Amino acid sequence: MSNNNLHNKAIGQQDRVLTLIIEGKEFECRQQFITGAEIKKMAGISPEAELYLTVAEPWDDEPVRDDSKVDLARPEIEHFLVKKKLQLTINKKPFAWDRQFITGKQIRELGKIDADDEIYLDIKGPHQDELIADDTRVDLARPGTEYFISKETPVKVVLIVNGRQKLWEKRTISFEEVIILAFGSYNNNPNIVYTVTFDNGPHQNPDGTMTKGDFVRVKNKMVFNATATDKS
């Protein structure tokens, strides 16, 4: 390769702008390799902070020392984060999170919140709580602890119980509630034996049987068949 070509290649490499993400914020860099110390300085991160390069699951994130060099010219954009335990509560239960930002989806998974429930950030004072969508990002590094709560979305469905339509306004129904819809009341007499079967249910419980104490999720036009037998 001629000296001119080498010179032109070097210029091209110097002019190339590479992108990296630090704590969810996009930065640009003109050098192929960057050290942990340079990343911290670029993003205004404390020198004492523990810096990590995010790695796709199931692998653990990779620690980046101050003198470590990371190649930014690899095919994917590199994401860096600071592992610091930030406190939050979900439905009054305490949790710790090692990233500055958390999404609504991650809150849902962390707090085991039902997919149909709405998530809100508890706002003190006269203001309304803030609705958090699955793709909403919340900054946990703000002063104080963030408090999240979930609320059931109101439902109204029609159930088919022993061939008759019944209006129902809860997401689940119990064995005893099916019996009450079918026969008007539930008799605890041990000589009365009830059976319940169902089908056309949601994906969590498409069909099956119920026994005393059971609950199942419901959906519109779900079908229940109940029987009562007196053994006395």
In tens digits, what is the pLDDT along the chain, a chain of 232 residues?
544 444 444 444 456 899 999 988 999 999 999 999 999 999 988 787 788 998 876 777 899 999 999 999 998 999 998 877 788 999 999 998 877 789 999 999 999 998 888 999 998 877 888 999 999 999 887 888 999 999 877 788 999 999 999 999 988 999 999 999 999 999 999 899 999 999 999 988 999 999 999 999 999 999 999 999 988 7
CATH code for position 72:
2.40.240
Using the 3D structure, point to which of 151, 166, 182 is the last residue of a domain. 151
CB 33 within 8 A of CB 49: no
Q: What are the structure tokens assigned to 198, written together?
A: 């169902």
Q: Are residues 94 and 124 in the same domain?
A: yes
Which of 14, 148, 41 lies closest to 94, judged by CA? 148
- Local structure of 93: helix, strand or coil: strand
Count: domains in the chain: 3
Using the 3D structure, point to which of 29, 51, 82 is the last residue of a domain. 82
DSSP 17-67: -EEEEETTEEEEESSSEEEHHHHHHHHT--TTS-EEE---TTSPPEEE-TT
Using the 3D structure, point to which of 34, 67, 82 is the last residue of a domain. 82
Which of 166, 129, 159, 172 lies closest to 221, judged by CA? 159
Report pTM. 0.47
Give the integer Cα–Cα distance in Å for 99 and 152. Answer: 28
Instruction: Find the DSSP H helices in 80-212.
Output: 104-110, 175-183
Domain that includes residue 100, residue range: 86-151
Q: What are the structure tokens assigned to 13, written together?
A: 């490499």
Q: Are residues 30 and 17 in the same domain?
A: yes
